[in-house]
């Protein structure tokens, strides 16, 4: 293997010199900027094993110096220098032996072309796999198409379709798939209103936490009688949120308190031990808000007494819902509330998240009325409502189906 160094004013000229001097098969070993230009070290008859030995100091390359275009630069030896002062010498030796692979524009362009070609090939393969599935598994494909119209994730659709016992009856297969979906949706069976205790609602701003607190308080009062409920807000950032909760408190004849930190919350919970249900309305934070850690620490200071539910809006896209659930991972979530069902065109995205995350649904809200627009979550009801919304959804595009399921059905077949 012969190695040469080249100096030039810029990288383009240096690469041209390499091609002229060593031909198209030359390998760029390193490049670096120097005062007044760049330096490239290139090799022909490249031997990877030899380079390995060079870096370990076992052999020297044959270096051919071109005519100098500037004052000669000392060529680093591939053999480790004897350290002159302990660790400092070792660091110099390591730096001399290190080979920095260049970002040759031609190589970068080739890498981009390969990536593009790979994407095209993968797209063609998924299309072929989907076409084969249409031909050999028409009943399954039909179920997948209908599940997609519910707005469910591709992975969940594929899993549900794989659990159907197919018959030559489209409606039978569809009912089987919906039954599997209902079994995948966990619910809590009205635990808040039946059990009571200390309950905190968390979630992003604008999903309806404060209104949900009011609905739960009103429902509990109607079921168990007055003077059984107390309300706490930890939202010290928005005065409007506190005022809204105080208004609900006056209407329900329920006391409202503010906890600014963990110590105040712990004191309030001790003071309100005589209340059957204490509802905590927390500050709205996005899934990327730095105050999430504060909220988690505050609720965890409840000594295990606090049951926490995340409020999810059915109008939110699946990726954002997943981020929200992950963001509250430092808090042991007991379940969730689904809100704004009356404002969404599809329940599929929310149902995908609760099914895949196995996050039990406690209650659903479909309006602003207190307490009428709050119902106990029932899996069958959620599925039925989702199917009802499907009438307004467009049929999935064939290319989108192939992209979503081509790889999945080929893996299932494999």
pLDDT in tens, 287-323: 566 566 667 777 776 667 889 999 999 999 999 999 9
pTM of the model: 0.65
251 closest CA partner among 199, 202, 213: 213
pLDDT of residue 393: 65
pLDDT of residue 322: 92
**Average pLDDT for 180-204:** 92
Give tens-digit pLDDT for 59-78.
454 444 554 444 444 444 34
Edge to edge, the sheet with strand 277-281 lists 256-258, 229-233, 277-281, 197-202, 306-313, 333-339, 361-365, 374-376
**Average pLDDT for 263-267:** 88
Query: 102-106, 202-206, 279-283: which range is least confident on average?
Result: 102-106
**Domains in the chain: ranges and CATH:** 2-102 (no CATH), 107-184+396-413 (no CATH), 191-377 (3.40.50.300)
Statement: residue 84 has pLDDT above 50: no
């Amino acid at each position: 293997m012969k190695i040469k160094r080249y100096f030039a004013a810029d990288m383009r000229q240096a690469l041209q010199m390499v091609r002229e001097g060593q031909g198209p098969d030359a390998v760029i070993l390193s490049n670096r900027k120097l005062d007044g230009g760049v330096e490239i070290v290139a090799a022909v008859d490249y031997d990877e094993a030899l380079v390995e030995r060079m870096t370990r100091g076992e052999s020297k390359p044959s270096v051919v110096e071109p005519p100098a275009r500037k004052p000669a630069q000392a060529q680093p030896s591939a053999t480790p220098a004897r350290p002159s002062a302990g660790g400092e010498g070792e660091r110099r030796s390591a730096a001399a032996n290190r080979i920095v692979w260049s970002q040759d524009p031609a190589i970068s362009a080739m890498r981009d072309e390969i990536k593009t070609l790979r994407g095209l090939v993968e797209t063609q393969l998924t299309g072929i796999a989907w076409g084969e599935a249409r031909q050999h598994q028409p009943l399954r494909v039909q179920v997948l198409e209908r599940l997609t119209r519910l707005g469910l994730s591709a992975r969940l659709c594929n899993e549900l379709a794989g659990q159907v016992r197919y018959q030559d009856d489209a409606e039978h297969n569809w009912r089987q798939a919906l039954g599997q979906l209902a079994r995948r949706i966990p619910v809590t069976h009205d635990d808040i209103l039946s059990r009571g205790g200390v309950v905190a609602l968390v979630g992003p701003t604008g999903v309806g936490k404060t209104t949900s607190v009011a609905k739960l308080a009103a429902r509990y009062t109607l079921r168990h009688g007055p003077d059984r409920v107390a309300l706490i807000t930890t939202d010290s950032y928005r005065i409007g949120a506190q005022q809204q909760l105080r208004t609900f408190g006056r209407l329900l004849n329920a006391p409202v308190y503010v906890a600014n930190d963990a110590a105040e919350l712990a004191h309030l919970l001790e003071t309100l031990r005589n209340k059957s249900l204490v509802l905590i309305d927390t500050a709205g934070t996005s899934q990327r808000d730095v105050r999430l850690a504060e909220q988690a620490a505050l609720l965890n200071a409840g000594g295990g007494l606090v049951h926490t539910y995340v409020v999810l809006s059915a109008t939110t896209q699946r990726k954002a819902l997943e981020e929200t659930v992950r963001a509250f991972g430092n808090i042991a979530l007991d379940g969730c509330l689904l809100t704004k069902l009356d404002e969404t065109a599809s329940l599929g995205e929310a149902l995908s998240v609760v099914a895949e995350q196995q996050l039990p649904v406690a209650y659903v809200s479909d309006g602003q009325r207190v307490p009428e627009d709050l119902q106990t979550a029932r899996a069958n009801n959620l599925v039925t409502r989702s199917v009802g919304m499907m009438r307004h959804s467009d049929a999935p595009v064939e290319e989108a189906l192939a992209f979503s399921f081509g790889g999945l059905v080929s893996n299932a077949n494999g």
